[in-house]
A and B are shown apart, each in its own frame.
Chain A
Amino acid sequence: EDKVVQSPLSLVVHEGDTVTLNCSYEVTNFRSLLWYKQEKKAPTFLFMLTSSGIEKKSGRLSSILDKKELFSILNITATQTGDSAVYLCAVEAGTGNQFYFGTGTSLTVIP
């Protein structure tokens, strides 16, 4: 059965801390891995990763994929209260219409 597992389930940090969110997966015919940020609205797209070892970076956020060990990490440096959200990991697999989501990591950044 295809699955995506995220850890930790929730995390509380202070502003300025660095956090690492984890996503592991077991799917058939992996195509890509995606990270989303969800506040109290629609998930918004952060990164798409298709190749191992190539870091994607956007400001204080970065992500990398390891296709051998079947996981990805999302790093957030110098966290701010606006980073508080649920971070979702999704894996596109199969023929291209199948997206499998993890339960998400709920991040709370306190001042």
Chain B
Amino acid sequence: ETGVTQTPRHLVMGMTNKKSLKCEQHLGHNAMYWYKQSAKKPLELMFVYNFKEQTENNSVPSRFSPECPNSSHLFLHLHTLQPEDSALYLCASSQGQTIYSGNTIYFGEGSWLTVV
């Protein structure tokens, strides 16, 4: 139990479907993240929210749409995905911007997404 919970753990969706991934953190953190993990590639940062405000959007296609209603919850809405979007999607949280060095990022278990 890492304090970051993701649902669903596995998702299979067609290219015309609309689905959402959900993330909840119980650590009192202020920053939440979506990462994409594909085989043989580094973790790719998709979105960062700090105090509910989006601070990073790394050129992610619009078929991925994040939503952060509060500091504890983060969603990733999926629409008209492509097969190459199949990957492990990891949610994470951290304390957020701080004047102190040393900020640990904690991950959820991940959502395995397969687009068919």
Residues of chain A touching chain B, judged by Cβ–Cβ distance below 8 Å, are 4, 31-32, 34, 36, 41-45, 48, 50, 88, 90, 92, 95-99, 101-104
Contact = CB atoms under 8 A, between A and B. Distances in A.
Contacts of B106: 45
Contacts of B104: 34, 45, 48
Interface centre among A45, A90, A96 (most CB of B within 10 A): A96
B103 interface: yes
B42 A41 contact: no
Interface of B: 2, 4, 31, 33, 35, 40-43, 45, 48, 50, 55-56, 90, 94, 96-98, 101-110
B42 A103 contact: yes
16 contacts: A32-B103, A34-B104, A34-B105, A42-B90, A42-B107, A42-B108, A42-B109, A42-B110, A43-B107, A48-B104, A95-B97, A96-B96, A97-B94, A98-B48, A101-B43, A103-B40
A93 to B, nearest CB: 10
Contact of A98 (B2, B56, B109): B56
A103 B40 CA distance: 7
Contacts of B2: 42, 44
Contacts of B4: 42
A83 B22 CA distance: 30
Interface hub of B31, B41, B90, B102 (most chain A Cβ within 10 A) = B102
Nearest to A90: B105
A97 B42 contact: no
